[in-house]
């Protein structure tokens, strides 16, 4: 084994750094670093810059416009873009739907949709969860009934992240009630402009709007929008979820959070000394850093294994658990580092153009909001309890 980067890998890293220095707009990275809210335009512009360089679809095969990067390159890219304050690329089209289309989609679907994902023509959102289903995804009830050349869709989806910006939604729908609940599910691509679709915001506990409910009332979807075979959607859904879970480890973002927390630890004072010199705080910080370092290697081990997708079941569940728990530990310790300044919450301070003096230290504004908002990460994408169930089921043979 050799844990050092090769000369080629170092050259690649330098390439990425030079690109970021030249192309990542400071107006965007300042927002990311300051914990401010990004607009749709901010996200779109970074998407376009990456696409122009050919660095958008890191996990796609080259023939479809992907980068063809290996695992180490992907990790380097993730580390560098996160460290530079690049926005996280909205994953629904690129990292979730695209792998499904590439593996299971028809030629027409690939030819039509993949370029539109790359050039930003389509903004996809996810129609998996339903009220009352949650992590028991197979219990979903949204119905799609065949009517000639169309499916008629009725039902409701929920937790649709950034659905307010999307023009397309990929949905799991029930096309049969026979057999096991997993067996009657199909995977449909739906235009959000179709009559009968209503999007309603869900406001989260800290007051932000990032998720939505989507209602379907006799929505007509052409049959050519079915991916793969009817009633085989569960297979594609599971394939998509392994991609989602691997992505949830978020190694690069966790590293940035750790560095940010160290910066806060050096700046905050307790009894006149930097907080980072406080033995209790230092020990808490060290524990997180050790866990993160180990997880980064686990992540690389998974990504570099010859058939990473086949091995992705329990391993991606482990990464989801670790990645989310480390992130929450970082959010928690950052909140606690602020002392009483964790309390003020001036929502406008998170918008660009807010020029008033910050309340307390300039890094304080988003900290408690992030702590509360990130309670969701151990719930979504299959809760961590579900992940533990997957690990034991697959590894204990019971």
Query: Residues interacting with other proteins, by CB under 8 A?
Result: 129, 134-136, 139, 158-159, 202-207, 268-272, 280-281, 332, 335-336, 338-346, 359-360, 368-369, 371-372, 375-376, 378-380, 383-385, 388-389
User: At 216, is the secondary structure helix, strand, or coil?
Assistant: strand
| Residues 89, 71: Cα–Cα separation, whole Å | 18
d(CA 38, CA 1): 41
Please identify which residue in the block is written with the tokens 């406008």. Answer: 348
How far apart are CB 349 and other proteins at their closest, in Å?
9
244 catalytic? Reply is yes
Q: How far apart are CA 166 and CA 125, in angstroms?
A: 6
The CB-of-212 to other proteins minimum distance in angstroms stands at 12
Which residue, 127 or 252, has its beta carbon nearer to other proteins? 127
Specify the residue, 61 or 131, whose C-beta has the smaller distance to other proteins: 131
* Shortest distance (Å) from residue 146 CB to other proteins: 28
Residue with Cβ nearer other proteins (54 or 207): 207
Q: For residues 94 and 185, which CB has a smaller minimum distance to other proteins in the complex? A: 185
What DSSP state is assigned to residue 89? P
Closest-CA residue to 117 (of 50, 197, 196, 201): 50
Q: How far is the CB of 379 from other proteins (least distance, A)?
A: 5
186 touches 154 (CB < 8 A): no
Closest approach of Cβ 180 to other proteins, in Å?
12
Nearer to other proteins (CB atom), residue 234 or residue 341: 341
Residue tagged active-site, from 58, 80, 213, 244 = 244
Residue 249: Cβ within 10 Å count? 26
Burial of 207 (0-12, 13-18, 19+ CB in 10 A): exposed
C-alpha span between 153 and 220 (Å, rounded): 6
Catalytic residue set: 244
């Amino acid at each position: 084994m050799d844990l050092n980067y090769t000369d080629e890998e170092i050259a690649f890293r330098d390439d990425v750094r030079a690109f970021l220095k030249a192309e990542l707009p400071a107006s965007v990275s300042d927002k990311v670093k300051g914990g401010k809210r990004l607009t749709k335009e901010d996200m779109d512009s970074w998407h376009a810059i990456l696409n122009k360089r050919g660095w958008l679809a890191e996990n796609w095969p080259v023939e479809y416009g992907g980068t063809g990067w290996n695992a180490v390159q992907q990790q380097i890219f993730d580390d560098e873009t996160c460290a530079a304050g690049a926005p996280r690329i909205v994953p629904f089209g690129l990292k979730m739907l695209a792998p499904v289309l590439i593996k299971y989609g028809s030629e027409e679907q690939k030819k039509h949709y993949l370029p539109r994902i790359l050039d930003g023509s389509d903004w996809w959102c996810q129609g998996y969860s339903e009220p009352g289903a949650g992590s028991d995804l197979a219990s979903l009830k949204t119905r799609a009934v065949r009517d000639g050349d169309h499916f008629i869709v009725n039902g409701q989806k929920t937790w649709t992240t950034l659905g307010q910006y999307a023009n397309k939604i990929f949905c799991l729908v029930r096309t049969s009630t026979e057999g096991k609940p997993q067996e009657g599910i199909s995977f449909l691509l739906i235009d959000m402009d179709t009559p009968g679709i209503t999007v309603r915001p869900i406001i989260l506990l800290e007051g932000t709007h990032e998720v939505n409910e989507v209602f379907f009332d006799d929505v007509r979807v052409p049959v050519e929008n079915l991916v793969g075979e009817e009633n085989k959607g569960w297979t594609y859904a599971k394939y998509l979820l392994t991609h989602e879970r691997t992505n949830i480890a978020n190694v690069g973002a966790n590293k940035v959070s750790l560095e940010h927390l160290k910066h806060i630890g050096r700046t905050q004072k307790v009894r006149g000394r930097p907080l980072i010199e406080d033995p209790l705080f230092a020990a808490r910080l060290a524990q997180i850093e050790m866990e993160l370092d180990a997880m980064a290697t686990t992540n690389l081990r998974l990504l570099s294994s010859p058939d990473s997708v086949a091995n992705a079941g329990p391993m991606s569940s482990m990464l989801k658990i670790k990645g989310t728990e480390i992130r929450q530990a970082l959010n928690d310790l950052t909140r606690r580092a602020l002392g009483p300044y964790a309390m003020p919450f001036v929502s406008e301070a998170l918008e660009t153009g807010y020029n008033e003096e910050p309340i307390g230290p300039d890094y304080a504004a988003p900290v408690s909001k992030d702590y509360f908002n990130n309670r969701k990460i151990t719930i979504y994408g299959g809760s961590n309890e579900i992940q533990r169930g997957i690990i034991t089921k697959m590894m204990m043979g019971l």
